[in-house]
Structure 1
């Protein structure tokens, strides 16, 4: 330990003697390690992080997919189920004693916000996320309240008083941690609810989301609070199930029992009583998956991009290490006299190697500490890029213990990696070298290794530059796609009439009132009302059939909208008519289909006057028009079949009570204005509040912003690959500059002799540049096939890009070649300015 401390102190003294070298190495390391630590922060938080609950390893989820949000139970080709009805959950809970607790939670709460207002005249209603959960939800996760109490089975009993648990973040942010919140009354969707407690600090729910729940409410209060009649429907799936298994439980045996129990439950369901159901029943199963990481919807969306960015940042770190190794080689050669003297005085080579390695590790550790600062700033930047506009993503930019450990590990690895070869070569100095002052003494091994490192840097830089070009090209293709939408002076206002207390029998009058009030606003041209808008993450769909035609066993997405809707989003009618003001609840049911629907279901024939509907009731709607194929949800969704129904109409076969038809609730307004209106959000809030104080704005966006949000992940990858590619190019250029400059210093006597014998300065410049060009050329020869091969690994993340475009490849080659010229010209000009007399005199 004493020797080690001596080595550390000596390392600091040596680094202080060369501040330029030390600063260059530390900045290079900080960028390399900081980039990796920033990406790892996201990887750790999104992909590796467990829920902040007790013993997450003992949690199992029944199901392994993110089915959402409410769906009718029915036979499936693969028989795989991941969300369930309330009845199925209750029966599984009773039949599976292998679970200590089995909790259920709402699958799609992100699409069904609630409106909450604390009791009091001064309080304002807010649209927030609320999740409906089972009474043992918090008990299953082993959590304790921050204040008050958590939900219990008694809260979830039918007929129990409505209660709720508030999130810790909301308690602090909105109510400053006031204990008086516990026991107070809140109006949730206009119904009185008592807040009985506050969830523990750091708990963000059973899944990671950009908008975590602010209130947790019992499942059995959902029919009253949200008019969700499917809660008690035994054939409507809407719940995820997570449980904590008892110690010693054999998971494979439990898996078999879950499947057998599920088949027994489903065998009693009406939809499995027919011939098709009996054939599908033996396939019914639910895969048990790890529940400690939470429901994985958020993780699945970012996994491939984060893995890719981690690999790219690793390549940048490798280039940084190669660059630093070159610097250490140059420094090692400058210290060869010192090494020779130490060897002559009896120092063992192993001792010298250890001292030089200690210097490398000290440098790496210092770079790692600075890298953590870079990682903190980088993580904040990544969060802004990855989740624009999200205020409460449960990811901390501050380095966690895992990130600090990662940075330390990377620092130690890089310290050894870039320190071994230079230390070994420097330690080969012979004692006789101490007696020589001639600069002809060379280190062929060091020179060869430096060139190899430069070639490696050039090759890796080309790969990253090509990758940056491909992802930028993919992003440009996505953003340049013809969406068949018009976002000019369009504004999206999300609303929730159901949460504002309106019944389905009241919404027709509400929609007329909204249209009248917003048309009265100066500058408003169109007021489109629909259940959702084109480029938001939402999709309603049904199985469809044309009357008189065979069942194609295919489905289509549908949108319910008013007469202004098509004009408000910029969709053109190409045949027949669009939805009209005459298409009311009492009028004959009609529909408008898109061109893809005509191609698929009508084989391109004229659809006007034909009838479509569900496979069992294909005569529900008469087709009165055709619209162009507007993009909905994703540009990548090709041949997206869609049909549009007047917002208040129901199919001929839909004869049930209107009070149970929740599809009549609109979710958005699209406002088209004659000019840009920067105060439209405030106008929308005032206008809605003038109709009903509980009718709040759930979310306000410009149409352009909504479209741009669909490309967030692609934009993140494109920008970061470009950033990493530029960083790699800069590091490669610095590496080439260092090797070329070192070569010029080492060859100064040779250059002096050449010039004394008549060599022209241009010839000397050409000689130095040729050497730099050869190394770059070898790097290109290696990097081009590697880049072409790498495309196949990222092709799935590219849009309409299947190979390395010639322009991308030539651009990357040109950028690397230009950087090599810039890196080589400075030492080449220095070589050409060598004074032959001074060079020969030094001999």
Structure 2
């Protein structure tokens, strides 16, 4: 212990004596450690974090995949993911291996509620409301922050409607007001009592950028949301998660759950006939760990975070190579000291230990500095990766796990980059201290030092190529012709259902919306639709041509009003558009896009033909064809779509219209004559004048909505450019350091050359040639490595399967210029050497 204390004190004295070296080393390594710690903070929060619940390891999710939101029909592969309420009840009763089994509304983020606190001055707000089973909180083993949580008694039809408010909502919107508990809120125009507050730190059963504000019982959903599928055995809309009893084997449990699910859905219409029976035979259910919740964000961000973790690791490797070079230079400078210590009897093991102690202290100091970089970097990454998520359940402050990660990373890097310099420095011979001169020409930098520079150059090229590829990918996406007109267009998301409108009232509502907005000065077109292009939404169905025996073709559909196509800039190519005469009582018609026309009719005219689901292919008459426009994602190409008038239902649908959710519009598209900066305020006032409960769920310009679909690609492009630039800087510093060291070691040689008549230009060329040779070898290694690595990021790129020559050339030129600049500075210094001064030093 005394030896270690002595080594630490000596190491601190040595580092204090060389402040330039110490500061440079700490800052260099802090950047590498900080970048890795920042990325690890996100990786831990998104990929590794467990739910803040009791014994998360015993939570099991039924259904091994993620999907959304309300589905009917049978999956082609037989893998059931979502479940009906009936299936959930049968599983709850028939699988005693679960201590608790909870059901959760899938895709609640797509169905916000309108909430208003009881009181004359309260304003209705769009909020996230998640419908859950009464035993939801009990399944997770949670206790309330205040009041009480939901119980089984709350989840009974006809029971008084209660809600649990999230802790963040309670604090941020109501400042922790205790009168909230037991108070009344008007949710979707219905009175609801807040029973209690969810525990602090609990953001729901999934990591989401829009966690719930309110938790509501499933049985209140028909009343609050006016939906008819809650008790429909053929509609699958629930996620299920349960807590298994200790010692339960998952294999037999999965077989049992699959058998109950198969029995539950056997009478559904989708499993009638030979094809249905074949689908039923394939029906099964997967089980997945549920301790991290329903992992929507994990699936969404996992690949991008892994790419960033790899990139940051390469940056750390470059930083370590830089530090190793600095320590090698430092070790050469202390060669005489080591020789004297060896001559005085110091053992080589003791010298290596002391030098490693210096490296470890340097690494630990860098680790602490890296935590500051990590904190600031995590804040930046949160803003970039999760743009617009103001209530994201991720803590940017260093957690104990992140602190441990940074400490471990510091220790590992301290040993890795310190072991070789320590070993080389410890090889000093006692006789070296006695030699008084070195008339021999110095060899400059060692092979190891040059090898480290080559490594840095090669890795930097790989990162620069990666940055170029992701930037090229972003440019391709952003410059793709979406066949849309986004200028002077504004998207106003609404939800008439939550404002209390019933289906028979909707046609009059839509006419009123059109009239009121047309009365606003500057508004040119008013489009109304279920959803709009380039938003995260999609409604799909299977279609078949009447009179043709072909199998159904999958297509997406949108319900619209007459001005919708003009409002989004979609052009009509054949036939006619929708008119005011296409009402609920008029013959059912549809407009299809070019791709669907090609899929269904090849080169024939589709006008006048009838299409519909395979069981009723005569539902709609095709009256027009529009161009292919991008909807959910620009990468989703060759995508068939059809459009239906807002109030029309399929001709074969004879069910009650008052429960048809397809009649409810989700968006208003406003086209204005000129740019206007007060459209949101105008929209809110206009809707409030129609109905105070008709709130704006979300407002965006059309340009902003389109830009949001490129957020992930933009983030990756920016971060790879940031890390690529950092790697280039570190590699340039490394090359500069080695070249400067070479010049210092060869001062005598250069002085003799110049005394014998060497030109300044030849000296500059000699030094530059050595620097560029190292960079060139790094390029030669980095190019094939970069070409090889493309296969691992190809899935993240749009129509890019190999490195574009321009990207590769740009990366090579950038690195060559940086290397040239890094070598030119010490080369010019070498050419300024005074021969007489150099010989006097010799």
SS in 2 for 1:500: coil
Q: Does 1:8 align with 2:8?
A: yes
1:463 corresponds to which residue?
462
Encode CA deviations 1:602-625: one digit per residue, 9 max, x unaligned: 113111111111111111111110
Q: Which residue of 2 aligns with 1:306?
A: 305
Cα distance change, pair 344–124 in 1 and its aligned pair in 2 (3 A): same
User: What's 1:822 paired with?
Assistant: 821
Q: Is the 8 A contact 1:60 1:290 kept in 2?
A: yes
Work out whether 1:539 is the aligned partner of 2:538. yes
Q: Are 1:791 and 2:790 counterparts?
A: yes
Instruction: Name the CA shift for 1:384/1:586 in 2 (closer, same or farther; >3 Å).
Output: same
Gaps of 5+ in 1: none
Q: Distance in 1 between matches of 2:727 and 2:786?
A: 15
Aligned partners of 1:812, 1:439: CA distance in 2, in Å?
42
Aligned mates of 1:697, 1:122 — CA distance in 2? 18
- Mapped to 1, the partners of 2:226 and 2:77 lie a distance apart of 32
Alignment match, 2:123: 124
Find the counterpart in structure 1 of residue 547 from structure 2: 548
Q: CA deviation at 1:440?
A: 5.6
User: What is the correspondence of 1:290-439 to structure 2 with a 5 Å cutoff?
Assistant: 290-438=289-437
Tell me how far apart the structure 1 counterparts of residues 289 and 442 of structure 2 sit (CA, whole Å): 56
**Secondary structure class of the residue paired with 2:81:** coil
**Aligned-pair CA distance for 1:184:** 0.8
2:160 matched residue in structure 1: 161
Residues of 2 paired with 1:344 and 1:414: CA distance?
A: 31
TM-score by length of 1: 0.99
* Closer, same or farther: CA 741–94 of 1 in aligned 2, 3 Å: same
Task: Return structure 1 stretches of 4+ with deviation > 6 angstroms.
Answer: 441-446
Q: How far did residue 752 of structure 1 move? A: 1.6
CA distance in 1, matches of 2:716, 2:841: 54
Name the CA distance, whole Å, in 1 between partners of 2:387 and 2:123.
26
The answer to whether the 8 A contact 2:443-2:746 is kept is no
In the other structure, the counterpart of 1:54 is 54
* Structure-2 residue corresponding to 1:752: 751
Q: Offset at 1:842?
A: 2.3
Structure 1 residue 483 corresponds to structure 2 residue 482:
yes
Question: Deviations for 1:117-148, whole angstroms, at most 9, x for unmatched residues?
Answer: 11111111111000000000000000000001
Which position in structure 1 is the counterpart of 2:256? 257
Aligned-pair CA distance for 1:442: 8.8
* SS of corresponding position for 2:285: coil
Deviation string, structure 1 residues 171-193 (Cα, Å, up to 9, x no partner): 11111111111111111100111
Partner of residue 38, structure 2: 38
* Displacement after TM superposition at 1:684 (Å): 0.8
CA distance in 2, matches of 1:761, 1:7: 46
Matched with 1:28 is: 28
- What is the aligned partner in structure 1 of residue 617 from structure 2? 618
1:211 alignment partner, SS class = coil
Counterpart secondary structure, 2:25: helix
Superposition deviation, residue 553 in structure 1: 2.7
Question: For residues 574 and 21 of structure 1, what CA distance do their matches in structure 2 show?
Answer: 70
CA deviation after TM superposition for structure 1 residue 14, in Å:
0.9
Matches within 5 A, 1:154-233: 154-233=153-232
Q: Deviations over 1:635-669 (max 9, x none)?
A: 11011100000101111111211102110000000
Q: Distance in 1 between matches of 2:238 and 2:668?
A: 29
SS at 1:14 equivalent = helix
Q: 3-state DSSP class of the match of 1:533?
A: coil
Instruction: Note closer, same or farther for the CA distance 1:349–1:234 as it changes in structure 2 (3 Å cut).
Output: same
CA distance in 2, matches of 1:533, 1:761: 68
> How far does residue 413 in structure 1 lie from its aligned partner after superposition?
1.0
Is 2:224–2:498's contact at 8 Å kept on the other side of the alignment? yes
Shift of 1:767: 1.0
Deviations 1:583-604 (A, max 9, x none): 1111111110000010101113
| Displacement after TM superposition at 1:351 (Å) | 1.0
Deviations 1:373-430 (A, max 9, x none): 1111111111111122221111111111111111111111111111111111111111
Cα displacement (A) at 1:266? 2.2
- Preserved CA contact (<8 Å) 1:425 1:445: no
SS at match of 1:232: coil
CA distance in 1, matches of 2:504, 2:267: 34
Instruction: Answer whether contact 1:329 1:446 (CA < 8 A) is retained.
Output: no
Contact 2:444 2:742 in 1 (8 A): no
Contact 1:81 1:286 in 2 (8 A): yes
Conserved 8 A contact 1:528-1:565: yes
CA contact (8 A) 2:442 2:745 kept: no
Partner of 1:68: 68
Q: What SS does the corresponding residue of 1:230 show, helix, strand or coil?
A: coil
Supply the distance in 1 between the matched residues of 2:441 and 2:134 (Cα, whole angstroms).
78
User: What SS does the aligned partner of 1:186 have?
Assistant: strand
Counterpart CA distance in 1 for 2:687 and 2:260 is 49
Task: Show CA shifts across 1:28-49 (max 9, x none).
Answer: 1111111111111111111111
Q: Structure 1 CA distance, aligned partners of 2:389 and 2:40?
A: 20
CA displacement at 1:714 relative to structure 2? 0.4
Deviation string, structure 1 residues 732-761 (Cα, Å, up to 9, x no partner):
111111111111111111112222222222
Q: Deviations over 1:275-328 (max 9, x none)?
A: 222122221111000001111121111111110110010000000000111111
1:12–1:622: structure 2 CA closer, same or farther, 3 Å change rule? same
Of 543-552 and 505-514, deviating more is: 543-552
* Aligned 8 A contact 2:444 2:746 in 1: no
Q: Report if aligned partners of 1:60, 1:245 keep a CA contact under 8 Å in 2.
A: yes
| Residue of structure 2 equivalent to 1:590 | 589
Aligned-partner Cα distance in 2 for 1:267–1:703 = 45
Structure 1 residue 782 displacement after superposition? 0.6
Question: 2: CA distance between counterparts of 1:339 and 1:553?
Answer: 82
Corresponding residue of 1:833: 832
Q: What RMSD over aligned residues (CA atoms) do the two structures have, in Å?
A: 1.2
CA contact (8 A) 1:422 1:446 kept: no
State the Cα deviation string for residues 788-842 of structure 1 (Å, max 9, x = none): 1111111111111111111111111101110111011111111112222222222
Distance in 2 of aligned mates of 1:426 and 1:303: 44
* 1:84-134 alpha-carbon deviations (Å, 9 max, x no partner): 000000001111000000000000111100011111111111110000000
- Cα offset for 1:337? 1.3
SS for the counterpart of 1:472 is helix
Distance 1:601 1:140 in 2: 49
CA offsets per residue over residues 649-692 of structure 1, 9 Å max, x none?
11111121110211000000011111111111111111111111
| Aligned counterpart, 2:643 | 644
Contact 1:504 1:665 in 2 (8 A): yes
What SS is found at the alignment partner of 1:655?
A: coil
Bigger Cα displacement from structure 2, 429-438 vs 449-458: 429-438
SS of 2:80's equivalent in the other structure is: coil
Native 8 Å contact 1:425 1:446 kept in 2: no
Work out the CA distance in 1 between the residues paired with 2:570 and 2:16.
Answer: 68
1:526-563 CA-partner distances (Å, limit 9, x unpaired): 11110101111000011101111123332110000001
Tell me what 1:813 maps to: 812
Aligned pair 1:682/2:681, yes or no? yes
> Normalised by the size of structure 2, how large is the TM-score?
0.99
Is the CA contact (8 Å cut-off) linking 1:544 and 1:556 kept in structure 2?
yes
Q: CA deviation at 1:264?
A: 2.0
8 Å contact from structure 1 (residues 440, 746) kept in 2: no
Aligned residue pairs, count? 842
Q: 1:441: Cα distance to partner?
A: 7.8
Aligned to 2:521: 522
CA contact (8 A) 1:50 1:294 kept: yes
Moved more, 372-381 or 136-145: 372-381
Tell me the SS of whatever aligns to 2:515: helix
Change (3 A) 1:482 1:440: farther
1:708 aligns with 2:707: yes
